A and B are shown apart, each in its own frame.
Chain A
Amino acid sequence: MSISGAGFLLFLTAAALLYYLVPKAYRRFVLLAAGIIFYLSFSPAAGLCLLFTACFTFGSALLLGRLHRLEKSALDGGDADRKAVKARFRTRRKRLLAALLTVNFATLAVFKYLDPWLAELNDLFGLSFRPLNLLLPLGISFYIFQTSGYLIDCFRGRVEPERNFFKYALFVSYFPQMIQGPINRYQSLAPQLYEGSDFDADKIRLGIELLLWGMLKKVFLADPLADAVKEIYANYTAYSGFSVFLGAALYCIQLYADFSGGVDVVRGASQIFGIEMAENFKRPYFSRTLDEFWRRWHISLGEWMKDYLFYPMALSGAMGKLGKAARKRFGADFGKVAVPALCTLIVFLAVGVWQGPGLANIAYGLYNGLLMSFALLVDRRVRAFKTRLKIKDSSRAYRLFGVARTCFLVVIGRYFSRSASLYDALRMLWRTVRYFGEGLGEGNPFTAFGLDGGAWARVLFACAVLFAVSLLQEKGIRIRETLAKKPWYVQFVPLFIAVALLVVFVYLNTDYTAIAYVYESI
């Protein structure tokens, strides 16, 4: 059931009708049933994997909660050495958490990484491991991260473990988040799911608008670029370096429209049920630095990495010692940034692995991590340099320069994240540099890969609309909320246009072929 398809819209409508028809106390059961039906419509076998994760993490959280209660009893019992009691229980909880997370991530490793890595080993060392040919369960990367976050929050005592399995199963299987996240936090999502929402026509309309906007992004911007991008990445040796670079830039636009469009669809669908999900994008291509880009792109993954990997690692005893040693050996300035720089590198390696099992993905993580670590290490010198040249960060020219530089670095990164292998990514880069202008005089480089004049015009128009909307949002204008204050017939116009466009170009168009979301296969 594709979330762009009419089937999904019918399913969503039926679920929403039923949700608001049953009494509030039972609404969560409607969502749970909808989640199970939705998931099984993709693959019944993969449902077993989801069920295992739900059962395992449910029981695991209860064990962590039990340790918290035992600690509290020991402390209440007047044990003299409170510090020792706390330290003892913290060690026990840490060991338990380590074991639980190992099992949880092992599920992901087996389904997502084992076969590709076995194939890689076979290639590299001439071995003959037989692949397991396991099916990649839908949304596994998202629900493993979401449940692992829940376990860590239980370990930290920030969340009380859920004792009702059916409630917890809803948190894991809430259907709008199953395709491509966002990675929700238990504290913000679960209470909304369990309590149920009152019927609110305004919220429902806002949800429908967001859903339609996401569909428009996918259908009129991401999908028309998909074939051209695929062609360039598959046959880059046939194109000039300029076209290869253009292909990577087009992929940046395609991926943003695809992923952010998909997340708009699922967040909009969720808002129809009155449930707010985590925001995942804040106009990332307006970022002035790569660091800012990553705070605006796939925000829920970035926040997960920050809270559950970056902070614990950077504040660990080992990193503390390393920081001190660096300060002693290289001076205070370097010592201060050495640990954050190293941890940034490791976090981005993890982001690369999260994207996929190939070496190109790891290189993608390394590329981003190295650039950001380097920026951190030279930050003081750059600031001094700018002061000497009287360059102000707030000046319009410098801001534009920052945005252009960030976009360029992001485009180069996409050579790695989209190409078939690391070898191909490096050859594409080489081609871009070495043969940048090759054959540019012979024919039109913009249409060489199958995107004709009409298609370019449509894509550019869609880009212009997206840019205009993003610019308004950057200026702090909340478009849907502003529209909601207008008379009903004014509110109706954009809704009508969106529905008409989708009906004519998608649902009544027999030539239209739905293209899967890029992050569906993650």
Chain B
Amino acid sequence: MQKLYDILNENWPDIDFEKEEKLIDDGVLTSLDIVMLVGELNDAFDIEITADELLPENFNSASAIEALVKRLTAE
């Protein structure tokens, strides 16, 4: 999952993804960030993240995003 961290760190260098646990709840990532991130993830992992998956619990931390990507890759 190094690829995921590369995407996150390259696009949002100011955010500490190792520590942040409330990326959505605290407004660290805005809706515009989320759409950009989803586009990158869809391309990088050949998955399709739909609007139905856009729940705070799926994007609040890097580990949550990783779990989402793993689940969709497995499906």
Contact = CB atoms under 8 A, between A and B. Distances in A.
A115 B36 CA distance: 40
A311 B31 contact: yes
A310 B39 contact: no
B30 A295 contact: yes
A336 B7 CA distance: 12
Interface string B24-62: 000100111011101110110000011110100000000
Q: Secondary structure of the B side of the interface?
A: helix
B32 A315 contact: no
Interface string A350-373: 000000000000000000000000
A336 B30 contact: no
Interface of A: 83, 156-157, 291, 295, 306-307, 310-312, 314-315, 320, 323-324, 336-337, 339-340, 343-344, 376
A314 B52 contact: no
8 contacts: A291-B32, A295-B30, A307-B51, A311-B35, A315-B35, A315-B38, A336-B39, A340-B32
B13 to A, nearest CB: 10
A265 to B, nearest CB: 27
A295 B32 contact: no
Contacts of B75: 83
Given A320-B39, A323-B39, A315 B31 contact: no
Interface of B: 11, 27, 30-32, 34-36, 38-40, 42-43, 49-52, 54, 75
A343 B35 CA distance: 10
A337 B51 contact: no
A339 B30 contact: no
B40 to A, nearest CB: 8
A320 B35 contact: no
A271 B56 CA distance: 26
Residue among A83, A311, A343, A376 with the most chain B CB within 10 A?
A: A311
B41 to A, nearest CB: 11
B32 A320 contact: no
Contacts of B35: 310-311, 314-315, 339-340, 343
A156 B27 contact: no
Given A315-B38, A320-B42, A337-B36, A306 B52 contact: no
Contacts of B30: 291, 295
Contact of A295 (B27, B40, B54): B27
Contacts of A312: 51
Nearest to B33: A340
A11 B27 CA distance: 39
Contacts of B27: 295
Nearest to B32: A340
A275 B34 CA distance: 31
Contacts of A291: 30, 32
Contact of A310 (B11, B31, B52): B31
A156 B54 CA distance: 11
Residue among B11, B34, B35, B43 with the most chain A CB within 10 A?
A: B35
Contacts of A306: 31
Residue among B32, B42, B49, B52 with the most chain A CB within 10 A?
A: B32
Nearest to B34: A311
Given A295-B30, A306-B31, A156 B52 contact: yes
B51 A340 contact: no
Nearest to B40: A336
Given A315-B49, A339-B39, A307 B54 contact: yes
Contacts of B51: 156, 307, 311-312, 315
A174 B54 CA distance: 28
A191 B61 CA distance: 28
Contact of A336 (B34, B36, B42, B50): B36
A83 B75 CA distance: 9
A343 B32 CA distance: 9
A310 B35 CA distance: 9
B46 to A, nearest CB: 12
A337 B11 CA distance: 12
Contacts of A344: 32
Contacts of A343: 35
Nearest to B31: A306
Nearest to B49: A315
A157 B52 CA distance: 9
